[in-house]
Structures are given as structure tokens and as C-alpha cells.
Amino acid sequence: MTKKIILVLLFICSFHTVTAQYSYGDRWYNNPLGFEPLKLHTSMGFIVPAVAVGTCLLLMKKDPSLARRLSFYNEIGVSWGYKYPYMFLPSNNTGINYQLRKFMSVGVELDVLFPRDDFNQTTGFAIRPFARFYALNKPGWRLYFESGGGFVYTATEFPKPTDQDGRLGLKLNGLTKYGLGSEINVTEKTAVMFGVRHVHISNGNAKGVERNPSHDSNGFFVGLTHTLK
């Protein structure tokens, strides 16, 4: 049943790439899962995995053999905007992850972000629920796809106007991330984690499109995760 669900989801995704439509300035390699109607860089980055998790929980029985379901992690992420003004976005992310099935987990993450470019120098604090779907889940190595979305509050309005875009963002924005990650055990309970991801920040036109200059970037993360009994 698990393989059938994954194959159906992959088929749907691949079918729509033929007529994919991206945001202005995006190329498929900048935002691989940003095509219509998937759009995992927007609020769909939370909605789609939430629906997938709920569906799997309804269709699949619990696995009584699962042990050490709860883990916590800390990671450092960096990403670079691929649109002007090409923002550099470092962050420190701390979260918990709970294994629902061998192929699926959910968690929540607290982030501190430091957006930097010629126009933006601020700090943001974010909370982001997420889901992970494991293509491989071995005792010593795991490979997963992750997607989730939440909110970020910055000390100043974000993004600021530039010499190419005069719009001013808000202090409260939405934050979505998706990407591929891996964990490799260094001890029985501790693993090194690393991967690549796409980051999107915008407010969904909360006060109109004239107050919604968005940010999109791609980058990587590295960190440690520790499993509890």
C-alpha cells in the first residue's frame, strides 16, 4: 500500500511538469517543486504534506515494532537568493521529530534567521511544522523528503524596498521550506544530518500585492540529531 501511494503522488507530480507554470523569474531548477498546482514554496508546502500524512494515517495500520520514535535536532542552514538583490540567508534551526510510521514522521521547528543583502539587515524568529517522507529508513542511514510551512516575525518590515522593486513587506510573513535530507548514524542514538532545500518567505498578499515582495532562495543545511528512548 505504501509503495502504491508514493507511486501515485510521483505520477501526479511528473504529469504536471509538462505544463508547469512558475512565478516570474523562476526556472525549474531554481524551484523544482514550485510548479502549478503543487507549489510547495507557498502555503501548499504545508497543506500538501498535511493531507498526505492524514491520508496515510487513515489507510495504514500502526507499526508496533517502531522504537525510539522521538528525536530532537539542531542544524545550521544557509541559502542564497536567485533573484535580485540575491540575499544571503543564514539560519539556526532547532526542532523535534516524531516517527509516525517507518516511512513518515512529523515535527515542529523553531528558527532564527539573519537575512542579509544591500537593503536588508534584520533578524527573524520562526515556527514551522513539517512532515518527512522516507525513501530509505535503515538503522544506520536514512534518506527523506521534507516539506512544511509556518510563520516568521522579523524585527523590521521584510523585505525592504530595492532600487528595482519599491514594495515594502511586513514584519509577519509566511515561511515554507522543502528539500531532501539524510541522516547517517555516528553512534547508536546520534546522527549527522545534511541536505539541500528551497526557502520561500512572503505574506500571501495579506495587505495586497503591493505589500508582498517575496524572497526565494536555495541552499543546504548540516546538523546533529539525537534519538530518545
pLDDT tens for 98-136 read 999 999 999 999 999 999 999 999 999 999 999 999 999
State the pLDDT at residue 41.
93
Q: How confident is the model at residue 65 (pLDDT cuts 50, 70, 90)?
A: confident
CATH of range 2-227; options 3.40.50.2020, 3.30.10.20, 2.40.160.20, 3.40.50.720:
2.40.160.20
CB 135 within 8 A of CB 145: yes
Cα separation, 198 vs 203, whole angstroms: 17
Mean pLDDT computed over 182-206: 97
Q: What pTM value is reported for the model?
A: 0.89
Cα separation, 219 vs 215, whole angstroms: 13
Residue 152 bridge partners (DSSP): 126, 173
Cell, residue 206? 495579506
